[in-house]
A = this chain, B = another copy of it.
Amino acid sequence: MQQAYFRYYPQLKPNLTAVSDLIGDRLTVRYAQLEPALQQMAQQGGKFLRPAFLLLFAGLHEHPVTEQQLKAAASIEILHMATLIHDDIIDDAPKRRGHASLQAAFGKDVAVYAGDYLFTVFFDLITETVANTRFLTVNARIMKRILNGELGQMGDRFKLDQSLLGYLRNVNGKTAALFSLAAEEGAFLGGATQKEIQLAKRIGQNIGIAFQILDDILDYTGHHLNKPILKDLATGVYSLPLLLVLPTHQAELTPYLTQQAQMTPADIKAVQQIVKQAGGVQAAQTLAAKFTAKAEAELAQLPPSASRRALEKIIEQLLKRTR
């Protein structure tokens, strides 16, 4: 786990270590070499943001953490890992979390099955934790929402008439759904009231959307550390800063964008400049700030606790990064 994140929730450290151990115990697979690679992916470099979210929302009433909560936190991180492995196949990504991606190390064949395998571990864990609650169905559907987000994004590739609504719908699926589930399920497992559980769900969703918009912005401001700048653009995935200025700057942008996958690095740089000068980054920041402000206001309605304070700090930090 990346240590830096613990400054927002130091109290969680022993619990996140327990989650990490739980994950390690479940990653046994009948293929020599693959198991150590999965273990490495699980233990190193992951931010454990989603399990942390689940446990923070589970702590709203300051009851002691339960085995059930730790397992649920592990299930969400494992689902996240599964989607990362399949994303890396699709992106032909050479690296993941500082090491060779599974598909680079073992080929796409093993990587397809490895991702599938983690889906099964996810379902094992949810049948062990929430089988007798409505969260069994919620969890079964979450994967579908993530995939519909990914497929929706793929279906929109290179389209010049994407709506903001379509973008938000895709982002909601591919990123916010899992944050939202972590928050909602955490609140539920921590004994929160029905009203608090609904608030948690919305907070998770709003933070998730802000989180993805921030990621989109970093693509244009060039502060991404592990990602080739504007890779999305070259593959036809138009992220928020571009989408926000596209309707008003069709004339300048269309000649570049219609070249699709044939755009040169110079073309991509030109698009980046047009988007920045047209105010796309600022407009995206404004929108992200709206979602974080919503999350902040909703968080204020939850009972005060160490967990709430940690969540406030995380949101504050998010707001800073979108300014």
By a beta-carbon cutoff of 8 Å, the part of chain A in contact with chain B is: 29-32, 34, 86, 89-90, 108-110, 112-117, 119-121, 123-124, 127, 131-132, 136-137, 140-141, 143-144, 147-148, 150-152, 154-155
6 nearest interchain CB pairs? A120-B144, A90-B109, A31-B151, A31-B155, A123-B140, A30-B152
- Most interface-central of A90, A116, A141 (chain B CB within 10 A): A116
Q: Measured between alpha carbons, how far is A32 from B152 in the docked complex, in Å?
A: 9
Known pairs A112-B115, A132-B132 / 7 extra A-B pairs, C-beta < 8 Å: A30-B152, A110-B151, A116-B119, A120-B144, A127-B140, A131-B131, A131-B136
* Minimum C-beta distance from A155 to chain B (A): 4
Partner of A86, one of B90, B116, B141, B147: B116
Beta-carbon contact of B86 and A30 below 8 Å: no
Count of identical protomers in the assembly? 2
Partner of A148, one of B30, B144, B147, B151: B30
Q: Measured between alpha carbons, how far is A140 from B34 in the docked complex, in Å?
A: 21
Beta-carbon contact of B34 and A151 below 8 Å: yes
Beta-carbon contact of A86 and B113 below 8 Å: yes
- Most interface-central of A124, A127, A132, A137 (chain B CB within 10 A): A127
* Minimum C-beta distance from A23 to chain B (A): 15
Q: Measured between alpha carbons, how far is A151 from B112 in the docked complex, in Å?
A: 10
User: Which chain B residues lie closer than 8 Å to A121 at the CB level?
Assistant: 144
Beta-carbon contact of B141 and A120 below 8 Å: yes
Asked, given contacts A151-B34, A154-B109, A155-B30, whether A116 binds B90 with beta carbons under 8 Å apart, the answer is no
Beta-carbon contact of B117 and A141 below 8 Å: no
* Minimum C-beta distance from A77 to chain B (A): 17
* Minimum C-beta distance from A123 to chain B (A): 4
Beta-carbon contact of A137 and B127 below 8 Å: yes
Beta-carbon contact of A144 and B127 below 8 Å: no
28 A–B pairs (Cβ distance < 8 Å), ordered by A: A30-B151, A30-B155, A31-B152, A31-B154, A31-B155, A86-B112, A86-B113, A86-B116, A89-B108, A108-B108, A112-B112, A112-B115, A113-B150, A116-B143, A117-B151, A119-B119, A119-B143, A120-B141, A120-B143, A120-B147, A124-B137, A124-B140, A124-B141, A127-B136, A127-B137, A127-B140, A131-B131, A132-B132
